Amino acid sequence: MQETSKAPRPLLEVCCGTIGSVVAAAQGGADRVELCSGLDEGGLTPSLGFLRASLSVDAVRTHVLIRHRGGDFLYSERELQLMLDDIRVARDAGAHGVVVGALTADGDLDMAALEAMREAAGAMSLTFHRAFDMCRNPEEVLEQLISLGFHRILTSGQASTAEAGIPLLRRLVVQAAGRISLMPGCGVSPANAGRIISETGAREIHASARTWVKSKMKWRHDGVSMGEAGVDEYAFRESSALVVRQIRASIDEF
């Protein structure tokens, strides 16, 4: 009787805003990290120092988010040139991939901008980020991204979370038919990661796996904020190796 070979296990990407998160992702069994700063703004381009430190962490591939600012994905020529330079910096530093995106005012792909980004990326892996969730026609955009040579799309299925977006994600996986990878992301947790993989047919998934970390500072000056008023300056969120490990376990059976 001939045995049926099992499909490779799903890939787990962890979105990391600190070097501690990168280490935790590696310890928890992630396959890849996406480096970002400003996660509370949806993610911004990280520093070169952060990239270099992350590349020294064994066992994970390193992708870099290229996003100059928060807000929409409609970019001026000056912003585009800045992001192209960031892509080249990431490439020259040894990053394995970049995560990019750009839209027109009408919610379509900015094809000219994306072609320039693809050229700047060279041989690096290309992910289209969650600008996909703000586009006008996801089925059409999927085909365009395939034609541009993108390797994957990070998306919540145009919903508030990837779990809520399962119906569209499933349809897009079927439409893609292996020509591009759909990577569900947003609100992914140990409680729902297995369901998302099982019900969408996706073979990659994206999570931040963050928990709150309390400061070890003994001297504290309360009442002063470094940013938004009322934010606890003596706590921060960082990826947890335990949570990464739990997500890993929840998807490995599929």
Identify the structural domains of the chain with CATH numbers, from first to last. Answer: 11-252 (3.20.20.380)
In this structure, which amino acid lies at residue 160?
S
Q: How does 107-131 read in b/e, with b if 16+ C-beta sit within 10 Å? A: eebbeebbebbbebbeebbbbbbbb
pLDDT string in tens for the chain (254-residue length): 454 556 789 999 999 999 999 999 999 999 999 999 999 899 999 999 999 999 999 889 999 999 999 999 999 999 999 999 999 999 999 999 999 999 999 999 999 999 999 999 999 999 999 999 999 999 999 999 999 999 999 999 999 999 999 999 999 999 999 999 999 999 999 999 999 999 999 999 999 999 999 999 999 988 888 877 777 888 999 999 999 999 999 999 89
Q: What's the pLDDT tens digit per position in 84-115?
A: 999 999 999 999 999 999 999 999 999 999 99
Cα-Cα-Cα-Cα torsion 251, 171, 40, 57, nearest 10 degrees, comes to 40
